[in-house]
């Protein structure tokens, strides 16, 4: 814990100086065509163009495989550091691979080193795949999970005003028995759980059809199910949100305010064999998040090319809304998450975020109370050692 404290302290210190940032479906790799020049300090640090503080590079080129979820803003932190030339300046080479969902990402954890993952994948990884939690990327609370119904659906015909949450469509009776397409154990299902809860219902009151979240839009548009769970950029697709759309967004994480944390993660194997590289990636990723928050329009433009590599066509203005609604967690906020306790003082704030979310998953039937206790009593949060290179910051 002391070494993690040192890492976070140095990042916070660096930020203060700056004020005076299943199987893989596709991959990206390699350095940018022309990396910006970097200035080498007398202490051996480097500071490439745009970097918010000096960083100590790796002694030799090291490769990390970075996993992330398709259609996710969390990809930005690694992509930005790569495109800006920060990784190359620090002797860090990455291959980026994406997965359609968190559980599939964790099942394939032997094929990657570090990554970003939502709550569903995070819990699966902590409990079953010896994954380590390194930090918080963002709190997705800005229209990242949604459910759509057809205009002629009884849910839509019933209108709004019958839920405990303003803006959610339907009544308890119109939701009962409907066939809902979603991916079980994911943040999408968690949003469904809260939708039903707003009517005094639970998951047993509907028919949940489990399928890969990436395939739900196609299946729903083909006529399957009564309600479709949609994630990420697809929510903004004109087929769902256009003026002539035949579909209505009947619920969302934004309406329910039930967004969940996305986390930085690493495998136990990577922490053992590539510890220094893992720590450097984390530092640069946190820096990139700070940069993205401060340069939203530039990064929204960058995301057009980023998503195109994953096969998604986007508009810069839509990407800008995603960043504005789902800002990256700052170094200072991460520092607080991992050094300050929850309101009742029973655990760190970072642990409480996972614990509180998992309580919902226990109620949903995805996990047991014993598994919840096992998660918190384990050693997957804040792995030690983190970095001897940053210990000087604690002095």
Supply the pLDDT for residue 328.
93
Q: How confident is the model at residue 348 (pLDDT cuts 50, 70, 90)?
A: confident
Residue with tokens 């919902």: 360
Which of residues 222 and 121 earns the better pLDDT score? 222
Please state, rounded to an integer, the average pLDDT across all residues of the chain. 83
Average pLDDT over residues 91-110: 91
Separation between Cα atoms, residue 315 and residue 142, nearest integer Å: 17
Average pLDDT over residues 315-321: 89
In this structure, how many other beta carbons lie within 10 angstroms of the beta carbon of residue 298?
14
For residue 8, pLDDT over 80 is answered with no
Separation between Cα atoms, residue 74 and residue 97, nearest integer Å: 13
Q: How confident is the model at residue 102 (pLDDT cuts 50, 70, 90)?
A: confident
Supply the pLDDT for residue 3.
40
Whole-number percent of the chain with pLDDT over 70: 84
In this structure, how many other beta carbons lie within 10 angstroms of the beta carbon of residue 42?
5
pTM: 0.76
Q: Which residues contact 107 (CB under 8 A, 6 or more apart)?
A: 22, 129
β-pairing verdict for 114-117 and 92-99: unpaired
Supply the pLDDT for residue 383.
54
Supply the pLDDT for residue 382.
59
For residue 29, pLDDT over 60 is answered with no
Supply the pLDDT for residue 41.
62
Residue with tokens 């459910």: 147
For residue 225, pLDDT over 50 is answered with yes
328's enclosing H/E stretch is none
In this structure, how many other beta carbons lie within 10 angstroms of the beta carbon of residue 257?
10
Separation between Cα atoms, residue 265 and residue 137, nearest integer Å: 10
For residue 184, pLDDT over 80 is answered with yes
Supply the pLDDT for residue 106.
94
Q: Which residues contact 295 (CB under 8 A, 6 or more apart)?
A: none
Which of residues 288 and 371 earns the better pLDDT score? 288
Supply the pLDDT for residue 28.
54
Angle at 143 between CA 138 and CA 149, to 5 degrees: 145
Looking at mean pLDDT, say which of 40-44, 291-295, 318-322, 370-374 comes out highest: 291-295
Average pLDDT over residues 206-228: 95
Separation between Cα atoms, residue 279 and residue 315, nearest integer Å: 33
Average pLDDT over residues 250-270: 88
Supply the pLDDT for residue 39.
58
Looking at mean pLDDT, say which of 297-306, 315-324, 377-386 comes out highest: 297-306
For residue 197, pLDDT over 70 is answered with yes
Separation between Cα atoms, residue 184 and residue 366, nearest integer Å: 8
Average pLDDT over residues 135-160: 90
Omega before residue 385 within 30° of 0, cis: yes
For residue 12, pLDDT over 50 is answered with no
Read off the pLDDT of residues 326-347 as tens digits, 9 standing for 90 and up: 899 887 787 777 778 888 888 7
For residue 26, pLDDT over 50 is answered with no
Q: Which residues contact 328 (CB under 8 A, 6 or more apart)?
A: 76, 77, 137, 138, 288, 289, 290, 292, 293
- Sign of the Cα torsion 279, 281, 285, 291 reads positive
Read off the pLDDT of residues 231-250 as tens digits, 9 standing for 90 and up: 877 888 899 988 899 999 99
Q: Which residues contact 358 (CB under 8 A, 6 or more apart)?
A: 123, 367, 371, 372, 375
For residue 164, pLDDT over 70 is answered with yes
For residue 356, pLDDT over 90 is answered with no
CA distances from 6 to 1, 11, 191, 193, 279 (A): 9, 9, 36, 39, 12
Which of residues 178 and 263 earns the better pLDDT score? 178
The whole-angstrom distance between residue 285's C-alpha and the CA centroid of its chain comes to: 13
Separation between Cα atoms, residue 83 and residue 275, nearest integer Å: 23
Which of residues 192 and 122 earns the better pLDDT score? 192
Given a contact cutoff of 8 angstroms between Cβ atoms, the answer to whether 98 and 50 are in contact is no
Please list the residues that pair with 99 across neighbouring strands. Answer: 69
In this structure, how many other beta carbons lie within 10 angstroms of the beta carbon of residue 357?
20
Read off the pLDDT of residues 109-122 as tens digits, 9 standing for 90 and up: 999 999 999 888 88
């Amino acid at each position: 814990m002391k070494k993690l404290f040192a890492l976070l302290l140095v990042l916070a210190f660096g930020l203060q100086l700056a004020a005076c940032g299943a199987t893989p479906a596709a991959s990206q790799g390699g350095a940018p065509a022309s990396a910006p020049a970097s200035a080498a300090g007398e202490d051996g640090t480097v500071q490439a163009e745009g970097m918010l503080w000096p960083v100590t590079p790796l002694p030799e080129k090291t490769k990390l495989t970075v996993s992330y979820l398709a259609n996710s803003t969390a990809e930005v932190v690694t992509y930005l550091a790569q495109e800006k030339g920060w990784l190359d300046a620090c002797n860090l080479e990455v291959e980026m691979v994406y997965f359609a969902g968190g559980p599939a990402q964790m099942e394939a954890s032997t094929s990657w080193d570090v990554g970003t993952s939502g709550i569903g994948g995070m819990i699966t990884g902590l409990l079953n795949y010896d994954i380590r939690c390194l930090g918080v990327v963002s709190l997705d609370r800005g229209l990242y999970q949604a459910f759509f119904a057809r205009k002629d659906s009884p849910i839509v015909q019933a209108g709004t005003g019958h839920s405990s949450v303003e803006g959610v469509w339907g009544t308890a009776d119109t939701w009962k028995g409907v066939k809902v397409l979603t991916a079980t154990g994911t943040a999408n299902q968690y949003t469904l759980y809260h939708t039903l809860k707003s009517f005094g219902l639970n998951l047993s009151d509907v028919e949940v059809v489990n399928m890969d979240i990436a395939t739900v839009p196609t299946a729903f548009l083909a006529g399957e199910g009564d309600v479709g769970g949609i994630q990420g950029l697809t929510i903004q697709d004109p087929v769902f949100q256009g003026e002539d759309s035949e579909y209505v967004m009947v619920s969302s994480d934004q309406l329910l305010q039930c967004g969940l944390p996305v986390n930085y993660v690493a495998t136990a194997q990577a922490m053992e064999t590539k510890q220094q590289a893992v720590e450097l990636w984390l530092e640069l990723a946190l820096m990139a998040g700070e940069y993205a928050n401060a340069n939203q329009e530039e990064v929204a433009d960058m995301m057009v090319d980023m998503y195109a590599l994953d096969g998604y066509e986007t508009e810069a203005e839509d990407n800008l809304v995603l960043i504005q609604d789902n800002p990256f967690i700052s170094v200072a906020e991460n520092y607080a998450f991992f050094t300050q306790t929850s309101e009742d003082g029973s655990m760190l704030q970072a642990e409480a975020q996972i614990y509180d979310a998992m309580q919902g998953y226990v109620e949903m039937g995805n996990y047991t109370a014993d598994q919840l206790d096992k998660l918190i009593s384990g050693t997957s949060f804040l792995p030690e050692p983190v970095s001897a290179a940053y210990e000087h910051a604690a002095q």
